[in-house]
Structure 1
Amino acid sequence: MASGLNARALAWLEDEGPFDMYSIANRIVDVIAGEGDVILVGHSLGTPLAILTALAGAQREDVVVKGLVLSNSGANTKGHGDAGAIVQRIRAEWGEQMWDAFVGRCFHTLPDEWLLYEIRGYPARLQRHAVADTIQSQMETDLVPLLGKLPDMPVAVVHGQHDAARTLAHAEELAGCIRGASLHVLPTGHTSCAEDACAFAEIMRGVGEQAISGSRDGFR
């Protein structure tokens, strides 16, 4: 069972665009086509992309999404008070000072130095307009009406109890709108996958085991 995407999919903010959520999701679908069974893991902005990819993939015979892990995000940006301000700041102040401030907001507990170095260096590879356009598209996308159309599969929604960007209400709404989804609250900030990697890995393992067995019993 494939659990990740190759480099072409991971570079969706580094390619030629367009950078709206639906276009990016369709490019990811093209990448995972023919890859066999896939579990999609989406963090923050990656969560709506994972959902839209699963929905688009369900319309194709060569794409098989068997599970979702959706972390530190929501079905929309309602109540996510600073999304618009982030877009404005990206367009006006893109650079190291902004990147460092954004990274600081993403963590309750900083990761190992090597990982922090990689995270701080990543924005330099991105196109300013691509980041701004994608977040703007996220603000304009409400997934609530679409979540009931997801294929039946194991879905885990992960939230950090110290998340400064998203509230528990966002995670609860997301989990509540997806048939059979489980909610997992970890003692982390906005980047649960890095701050509590072992717990996050166990959640992914649980989704994988359920996808293989076809059962959801005991995964809560």
Structure 2
Amino acid sequence: MIVAIPGTLCAPDVFEPIAEALAGDARVEPVDWMLAPGPWDIPTIAQRILERVRTDHTSPIVVLGHSTGGAIALQIALSAPEIVSALIISDSGPNMKGHGDVSTIIAAAEISWGPQLFAPILTRSFREPLPHEVERKLLAYAGRVSPTAVIEVLRSQRDLDFAEHLTDLAVPTLVLHGSDDPVRTINQAQAFSRALPDAVLQIIDSGHTPVFEAPHETAAAIRSFLRNLRIQPRA
């Protein structure tokens, strides 16, 4: 089982392409944390996901986190390493250093909530323009999200720094990173990967969201990673 955690304002639907690409090899179970009740700080979100996992699954799971979901995944693995067999972190990192616009996004969410905020965030999350129907669906999801959820989770992510705790992370980790990610650089992904005790870095030909933009290349990287660990997350 791969529990998949999306980023801020990101519908769980972004995992549909990777779920289809991995069908038969692994089952991907997205988590919709943004529409769940608050509070929405990262430790609380991680705890809620852990409670669900402990209820629904008896064996260790693989946790896949994209963007802000990567920070949530790190929190889960550090809090409960006994139930995480492997981590897959996509276009994320241990902190938001060098992520210069987070305070701007928080301020915008406080005073100007609506499509004028959602659309630019959505645009930069994908290298190529989305099909109209997909864009409409993702914008509709973002419109259902409470601005408080966005503000709380981004403040939490901004204020948290896992860098000093990465050496405690005794979980095999695949770091995925889009080659044209405008949010975080390849150098940042390389530094993140080097700081982890047991990590593999895979650069994917995509923007910020390889699980959606390049599902087959991403699926191949995930299969290879799990095969080397002899993990078969089908359950």
Q: TM bucket by the smaller chain?
A: 0.7 to 0.9
With over 3 angstroms needed to count, the CA separation of the structure-2 counterparts of 1:102 and 1:111, relative to structure 1, is: same
**What code does the residue aligned with 1:19 have?**
W
Identify if the C-alpha distance between structure 1 residues 101 and 211 changes in structure 2 by more than 3 Å, giving closer, same or farther.
same
Whether 2:60 is the aligned partner of 1:37: answer: yes
Q: Which residue is equivalent to 1:19?
A: 40
Aligned to 2:119: 100
* 1:110 paired to 2:133: no
For the pair 1:87 / 2:106, whether they are aligned, the reply is: yes
Give the Cα–Cα distance (whole angstroms) in 2 for the partners of residues 114 and 37 of structure 1.
36
Alignment correspondent of 2:184: 166
Identify unmatched segments of 5+ residues in structure 1.
215-220
Counterpart position of 2:141: 122
Provide TM-score, normalisation by structure 1: 0.86
Deviation at 1:213, TM superposition (A): 5.5
Secondary structure (helix, strand or coil) at the match of 1:77 reads coil
User: What CA distance in whole angstroms lies between the structure 2 residues aligned with 1:196 and 1:145?
Assistant: 32
In the comparison of the two structures, how many residue pairs are matched? 208
Structure 1 205/116 Cα, relative in aligned 2: closer, same or farther at 3 Å? farther
Segment of structure 1 superposing worse, 76-85 or 102-111: 102-111
Is the Cα–Cα contact under 8 Å of residues 60 and 83 in structure 2 kept in the other structure?
yes
Q: Point out the more displaced range, 77-86 or 12-21.
A: 12-21
Q: For 1:122 and 1:212, locate their aligned partners in 2 and report how far apart those are by CA, in whole Å.
A: 36
SS at match of 2:64: strand
Q: Which amino acid aligns with 1:126?
A: V
Distance 2:231 2:120 in 1: 43
Between the aligned residues of both structures, percent identity stands at: 27
The within-5 A match list for 1:1-220 is 2-4=1-3, 10-34=31-55, 35=57, 36-58=59-81, 64-153=83-172, 155-212=173-230
Q: For structure 2, which runs of at least 5 residues remain unmatched after alignment?
A: 6-11, 13-28
Instruction: Work out the CA distance in 2 between the residues paired with 1:99 and 1:47.
Output: 20
CA deviation string 1:113-167 (max 9, x = no partner):
44333222221221111111101110001111111111242x1111112111111
Alpha carbons 1:159, 1:192 under 8 Å: kept:
yes
One-letter amino acid of the counterpart of residue 161, structure 1: S
Distance 2:223 2:131 in 1: 23
- Structure 1 stretch displaced more, 90-99 or 40-49: 90-99
Q: Name the structure, 1 or 2, with higher relative contact order (CA <8 Å, separation 6+).
A: 2
CA contact (8 A) 1:68 1:207 kept: no
1:53-83, CA deviations, whole angstroms, 9 ceiling, x for partnerless residues? 111122xxxx521111111111111111111
Q: Matched residue of 1:33: which SS? A: helix
Q: Could you say what the CA RMSD is over the residues aligned between the two structures, in angstroms? A: 2.2
Q: For 1:66 and 1:114, how far apart are their aligned partners in 2?
A: 36
CA contact (8 A) 1:159 1:171 kept: yes
